[in-house]
Chain A
Amino acid sequence: MTIKQIAVKIFKSNLKRYLFYFLCNSFAVMVFFMFSTLLFNESLHRSKEIEEGINEAVMIPTVALLIFSIFFISYAHSTFIKGRKKEFGLFMTLGMSTRDIRKIILVENSIIASASICLGIIAGTLFSRFFFLIIMSLIGVKSVSFELNVNSYLYSIGLFSVIFAIAVAVTMVVTSKFEIVKLLKEERTSKKNKRANPVLAAIAFIALLASLYILYAYFGTVPENDGQLLLFCTISIMITLYITISQLGSFCLNIIKRRPSSYYRHLLLLTNLDYKFKQVKKIIYLITVMVIVTIFYIGFVLYIFLGAEKAATDLHPYDIAFVQTGVSFDKLSAVVATKENPITEHKTLEVSNYFDSANYNFRTVIVADDQLSAVANKPIQVEKGSYLILVQLNLQGKAEQNRMIADIQQDLPNIGIDKLQSAMFERLINDLKYIDNSLIVLNSADYQQLKSNTSEVQTAEIQFLNMKDWKNSKDAVIKLEEKLSAANKVTPEFEQLIQRRLMTEQEFFQPGSKIGLYDYNKQGGGLILYLVTFISVLFFIATVIILLLRLFSELEDERKNYKKLFKIGITEKEIRKIIAGELKILFFAAPILGIVISLVYTSTFFKESGMDLEIYRSSLSISSVYLLFQLIYYFIVKRKYANQIIGD
């Protein structure tokens, strides 16, 4: 018999195992392919309808998906190989060399890998149009058409070939360590977890808590270092989490063992868990990480999505605001107002742009107190000879506020007024690219004098409009934007400023409107939300597959064990209880751990923004939905699995 014939024979006898492995792989390829069609869709990139920055947003889930695919496939692969070790042991006793075994592995895996890439891509090609249409209709984008890009094919084939190659290569290396005796005993011994090292367990656990705490406590204190802090803490959390998960189980077991009465009472459950922990810990870790990422990310995106209206009204007190130069207000208002949606309120604020020639033409925006007061609808009075700093940001810490004030004072041009009256940290007027977040407010007499005295001042009028229904003002804003970009006059100083800010003129003069931000958040949040939801559903499916894979690969052993116990006289009720206990840990340890850690991340990112409770609500509702699904899944599996083990 040649190797080839043997390989074919084995293939036939192990069909179920192969099929499962094959389908897992195809699934991963298909999902990635579907996603990549979105990533490489050029009309999506070019579309005006899609707000900028959203394309980048697709990138994050794609990377997450890729990393996930790597884990998923390598897990499926190692399960597949593990299931066959006994067979390999048998072959080796019959005189096969490691080389022959490698050949078998290589042939099998090449066939499965290429077949699953093919199936995955074919299925992906078929389903991606469907997937695309759903997503686009959900976010209300009509102008983008579906495209199949060569890149999708190339990347899917390329990346997955590499992933498979690596998985096989690892196995090849492992085969050199194959020993017949161990292979034959594989089923019985290998699952045994190494004895935990209590010191290591304690250190890892403390380090995990410390990393979480450091991240939470120090994130945002020194903004320049936030990136590094985040990276460092995340790496440290991921590592310590793994050690904790792998050690804590047996560590707890050792502690319980010291109290024989409770140890013996749960002996079967505890030893069963311990016995299988070597494999289970990887699954728990994988699922924990997936839960952290999804819960945090979805919670965050959901928050943006749901908070789109609040964000729009918070950032834009007036429905529409714009800088008017070079064209009369009447012409502009004619564009904006319609019969159904008239302008209900109109206010004007004159701003003086002071270009400081002594300081590289640094621009300062100056306004008069009475005008600002009228726009803001609140009394603001500045003493003659003094100035007031208005920062339109919600800065919480005193230290931060002081730093901001100092910064502004340092760049304050020499206008003959240098007595700081006070500083306000509040949003009073719309967010506009044209003005900065900080303004200088002067007494109106001082303001008029400054304006007339110096040639370095260029004034402009900002118009503030309220509409009858801002949610219906999208067309008005688009028309306004067109008119403005056609009409605006730009002085050399402004040209320089625009260049320095790396903006286009059109962006610089963009109106600041509620509807603009609202749409941006709704659309961006919406797109990401659907993508992330999609990925989370995949994660969920994947965890379902992983757990099933794990449970049903053990089914035979479990049955044998149950038979043994049955003969000794264990009751069905008792065995069901033990199975339930085991499944509970397998199903819920990871989600709960993941949710807790993701909440730490959420608090970290949102503690600055004044403890917005909405974000927690988003995160917690997502967590509950997830747990609910997991619970349903648990009950179904528990029944099925126990029935399978006990048999009729």
Chain B
Amino acid sequence: MTSVLEVKNIVKIYDDEKDQFATKALNRINLKIEKGELVAIMGPSGSGKTTLLNLLSGIDSPTSGTIHIANKELSTMNKEELALFRRQHLGFVFQEFNLLDSLSLKENVMLPMILEKRDAVYMETKTKEIMSTFGIYDIADKYPYSISGGQQQRAAVSRALANDPSIIFADEPTGNLDSKSSKTIMECFEKINKEMETTIVVVTHDVFAASYCNKVIFIKDGILDSQIVKKGNRKDFLDQIIDCLAVLGGGTHDD
């Protein structure tokens, strides 16, 4: 197995200009994620999960350390190249969906392809294919503010898939959803992961959501705490995660 993502010794320090008070959000993190893995990152609030994800996706840059994705080192790229890299190789799903209100669902899903200036016919077929997979093609022409949260998130997942990314990052994708919708979303991820062998990294507080993954990484106070790998069925894995969280402390603050 080749590793799609390799993180070495990253440190992230937020400088606060006002109080001259620096927050060390991440402290010497090392991480390796192999192709085709479905990984959950868990940890108490403020432990640096979102920060980690932002660094991995090039939205923000680390204070020190290196990040390799698909054999490319992010720090060697400038802002422009990073943007291009993101839309060509990465997919994103966010807690607050991040769909554009001015675009219909279909157009939202197409957006990464449009930025890539793909051919119109190709975009249409691709969009139809993805959206049908997630059962939202029949509402393709609706606008984000007139559909449910679960549907919006499925559209966001569809959008993340548009450019056949090598890796998908999701930051609390189920945070705004009820358990039924959460289940649908996680099943989507499972399906993508199985069928297309797409690597997926999910940050979540939700143990139930995490149990869908093959591996759970726990971080605390900006440091990698531990990780567990799924061996048996999902139910056992769920219990295992709950135990780990209990040890970790802080736990799942919003449940």
Known: A267-B103, A564-B98. A571 touches B159 (CB 8 A): no
Question: Is A261 close to B, CB under 8 A?
Answer: yes
Please tell me if the beta carbons of B84 and A571 are within 8 angstroms of each other in the complex.
Answer: yes
CB pair B103–A569 under 8 Å, yes or no, is no
Consensus secondary structure, chain A interface: helix
Stretch at the interface among B116-124, B188-196, B214-222, B240-248: B116-124
Give the Cβ gap from B109 to chain A, nearest Cβ, in Å.
11
Q: Are A260 and B83 closer than 8 Å at their CB atoms?
A: no
What residues on A are CB-neighbors of B57 within 8 Å? 567
Closest partner residue, chain B, to A571 (CB atom): B83
Which residues of chain A are within 8 angstroms of B94 by Cβ–Cβ distance? Answer: 567
Q: Which residues of A contact B80 (CB under 8 A)?
A: 571-573
A265: Cβ under 8 A from any B Cβ: yes
Whether a CB of chain A sits under 8 angstroms from the CB of B185 is no
Which of B59, B84, B123 is the one whose CB lies under 8 Å from A566? B59
| Complex CA distance for A564 and B83, rounded to whole angstroms | 12
B51: Cβ under 8 A from any A Cβ: no
Smallest Cβ distance from A538 to chain B, in angstroms?
34
How extensive is the interface on chain B, given as a class?
A: 20 to 34
Cβ A570 vs Cβ B59 within 8 A: no
Does B75 have its Cβ within 8 Å of any Cβ on chain A?
Answer: no
In the complex where A260-B124, A261-B120 touch, is A569 in contact with B145 (Cβ < 8 A)? no
When chains A and B are docked, how far (Å) is the Cα of A411 from the Cα of B54?
95
A260 closest partner in B (C-beta): B120
User: Does A185 lie at the interface of the complex (its beta carbon under 8 Å from any beta carbon of B)?
Assistant: yes
Q: Are the C-beta atoms of A267 and B85 separated by less than 8 Å?
A: no
Asked if residues A569 and B86 are in contact (CB atoms below 8 Å), the reply is yes
A274 in complex: contacting residue of B87, B102, B120, B123, CB < 8 Å: B102
Q: With both chains docked as a complex, state the minimum distance between the C-beta of A184 and any C-beta of chain B, in angstroms.
A: 11
A633 at the interface (CB under 8 A from B): no
| B103 pairs with A271, CB closer than 8 A | yes
- A residues 566-582 touching B (CB-CB < 8 Å): 566-574
CB of B202 within 8 Å of the partner chain:
no
B209 interfacial by beta-carbon distance below 8 Å = no
- Tell me, in angstroms, the Cα distance from A192 to B146 when the chains sit together: 13
Chain A 267-302 per-residue mask, 1 if CB under 8 angstroms from chain B, else 0: 110011011000000000000000000000000000
Q: Is B70 an interface residue (CB 8 A)?
A: no
Q: Digit string of A168-186 for contact with B (CB within 8 Å is 1, else 0)?
A: 0000000000000000010
| Contact size range, A | 20 to 34
The answer to whether A267 touches B114, judged by C-beta atoms less than 8 angstroms apart, is yes
A189 on interface, CB distance cutoff 8 Å: yes
A35 vs B245: C-alpha distance in the bound complex, in angstroms? 74
Of the candidates A264, A271, A564, A567, which one forms a contact with B123 in the assembled complex, judged by CB atoms under 8 Å apart? A264
Question: How long is the Cα–Cα vector from A528 to B100 in the complex, in angstroms?
Answer: 50
Contact of A271 among B87, B92, B107 (CB under 8 A): B107
Residues 46-57 of chain B, each 1 if its beta carbon lies under 8 Å from chain A, else 0: 000000000001
Contact with A along B81-116 (1 / 0, CB 8 A): 001111110101010001111110001001110110
What's the nearest-Cβ distance from chain B to residue A188, in Å?
A: 5
Is the pair B83, A189 in contact by a Cβ cutoff of 8 Å?
no
Distance in Å: Cβ of A281 to nearest Cβ of chain B: 16
B72 CB–A CB distance under 8 Å: no
| Residue B79 is within 8 A (CB to CB) of chain A in the complex | yes
Q: Are B112 and A569 in contact (CB under 8 A)?
A: yes
Measured between alpha carbons, how far is A529 from B120 in the docked complex, in Å?
55
B86 & A272 in contact (Cβ 8 Å cutoff): no
Indicate whether A496 reaches chain B with its CB closer than 8 angstroms.
no
Query: Chain B, 204-230, contact with A by CB distance < 8 Å: what is the 0/1 string?
Result: 000000000000000000000000000
Within 8 A of B (CB), among A177-225: 185, 188-189, 192
Contact residues of B between 15 and 51, Cβ < 8 Å to A: none
Name the residue of chain A whose CB is nearest to the CB of B115: A570
B94 vs chain A, min Cβ distance (A): 7
A residues 536-583 in Cβ contact with B at 8 Å: 561, 564-574
Contact of A275 among B86, B88, B102 (CB under 8 A): B102
Cα–Cα, bound, A561→B98 (Å) = 8
Q: Find A264's partner among B59, B92, B110 (CB 8 Å cutoff).
A: B110
CA distance A185 to B123 in the complex (A): 31
B residues less than 8 Å from A275 (CB atoms): 101-102
**CB distance A185 to B145 under 8 Å?**
yes
> Smallest CB–CB gap between B227 and chain A, Å?
26
Chain A positions within 8 Å of B120 at CB level: 260-261, 264
Residue in chain B with minimal CB distance to A273? B102
Contact B119 A189 (CB under 8 A): no
B79 to chain A, nearest CB (A): 7
A564–B155 alpha-carbon span in the complex (Å) = 14
For the complex formed, measure the closest distance between the CB of A270 and the CB atoms of chain B, giving whole angstroms.
9
Task: Mark interface residues in A151-169 (1 if CB within 8 Å of B CB, else 0).
Answer: 0000000000000000000
Interface readout for A443-463 with B: 1 if CB under 8 Å, 0 if not? 000000000000000000000
**CA gap between A27 and B71 in the complex, in Å:** 61
User: Quick one: closest A residue to B86, CB to CB?
Assistant: A569
What distance in Å separates the Cβ of B173 from its nearest Cβ neighbour in chain A? 14
Pull 7 A–B residue pairs with CB atoms less than 8 Å apart, ordered by A: A189-B101, A265-B114, A268-B111, A567-B86, A569-B85, A569-B88, A571-B79
Which residues of B pack against A, CB within 8 Å? 57, 59, 79-80, 83-88, 90, 92, 94, 98-103, 107, 110-112, 114-115, 117, 119-120, 123-124, 143, 145, 159
Interfacial residues, chain A to chain B (CB-CB below 8 A): 185, 188-189, 192, 260-261, 264-265, 267-268, 271-272, 274-275, 561, 564-574
